Amino acid sequence: MTDFGLKVRMAVVGSILFAFYMLVGAFGLAMFGFGAWPFVLLGLLVLPVIQYKIGTWSATRRAEPMPEDGQYQDIHRTVDSLCRDMGIKKPKLMVMDMGVPNAFATGRKGNGVVVVSTELIRLLQRDELEGVIAHELAHIKNRDVVAMVLGSSIAMMVGWVAYMVYMMGGERNVGSFIVGMIISNIAQMLVMVFVLAISRYREYVADEDARQYIGSGDPLARALEKISQGAEGRESQVDDSVSALCIFNSEKGLLQTLFATHPPTEKRIRKLRS
């Protein structure tokens, strides 16, 4: 992480999420007994790994490897150059029809994947595409995907604990089940507010990192403008979970803004050009 503001935010939010994590562990020990601590610990460690593996597979299952020859030669050369500058291992490059111009990164540093839509390749000029790719490589360099998976895993665990606590204190019938699920979702959403706030800030950091490595923020700003305009009136073919990873994900309305994974595109463009 190259941004001091991100480090501070991660320290604050990380402490809050760690407290929730410990709460889940304490509930597990209270429920199954202290003698079951190895199984509780195993569950706390395994769930994020499983979610990470499933998420990576789900995000890339429709994508195809990007050939290193033909029309994709320039993209591979661009990635090679950026990776040398960033000091990271070259990620696997893939291409996919998404219905809209977009791109996303998944995986971790040293074992990442960058997926670019065919629509994006046709839409952008070379320097604009370089800005988008630099943004995605910054996400891998900063371990953003891993951080998001850990955060969402903790939110899921907290939701499960809230459900179990409610069900243990009342009658078990259809009404209790429905109320328990509502409480579980509310608890999960409250934790996700912290996770998504960091997600939005991470987009700014990735934009700034991209600007530093390509030497200017204007190409990425132009790319975001074209992507936003190109997505209007078109239906995205990627899942909602994958949309959270994409460079562009438009959310409208107050509630959607609160739980948005990305900051407003207009603000990102202004910061890139400031």
**What's the average model confidence in pLDDT over 194-219?**
90
Most confident among 41-55, 161-175, 215-229, 251-265 (mean pLDDT): 215-229
Alpha carbon 74 to chain centroid distance? 27
- pLDDT of 40-61, one tens digit each? 888 888 888 888 888 888 889 9
Q: Residue 34: how many CA atoms within 13 Å on its side-chain side?
A: 0
Number of Cβ within 10 Å of residue 199's Cβ equals 23
Q: Please tell me the predicted confidence (pLDDT) of residue 119.
A: 95
136 is catalytic: yes
Catalytic residue among 136, 171, 203, 266: 136
Q: Please tell me the predicted confidence (pLDDT) of residue 63.
A: 94
Cβ contact 139:145 at 8 Å: yes
Which amino acid is present at 241?
S
Most confident among 18-22, 35-39, 104-108, 113-117 (mean pLDDT): 113-117
Which amino acid is present at 191?
V
Cβ contact 267:250 at 8 Å: no
Q: Please tell me the predicted confidence (pLDDT) of residue 44.
A: 82
pTM to 2 decimals?
0.84
Q: What is the DSSP string of 15-53?
A: HHHHHHHHHHHHHHHHHH-GGGHHHHHHHHHHHHHHHHH
Is residue 242 predicted with pLDDT exceeding 80?
no
Q: Please tell me the predicted confidence (pLDDT) of residue 144.
A: 87
**What's the average model confidence in pLDDT over 106-127?**
93
Q: Please tell me the predicted confidence (pLDDT) of residue 25.
A: 87
Q: Please tell me the predicted confidence (pLDDT) of residue 254.
A: 46
Domain ranges across the chain:
1-274
Q: Please tell me the predicted confidence (pLDDT) of residue 153.
A: 86
Q: What is the mean pLDDT of the chain?
A: 86
Is residue 15 predicted with pLDDT exceeding 80?
yes
**What's the average model confidence in pLDDT over 116-144?**
95
- What is the edge-to-edge ordering of all strands in the sheet holding 103-108? 64-65, 92-96, 111-117, 103-108
- Tokens of residue 48, six digits: 């994020």
pLDDT band at residue 102, thresholds of 50, 70 and 90? very high
Indicate the burial class of 107 (C-beta count within 10 angstroms; 0-12, 13-18, 19 or more): buried
- pLDDT of 133-159, one tens digit each? 999 999 999 888 888 888 888 888 899
Please give the Cα distance from 155 to 173 (Å, whole number): 25
Q: Please tell me the predicted confidence (pLDDT) of residue 212.
A: 95
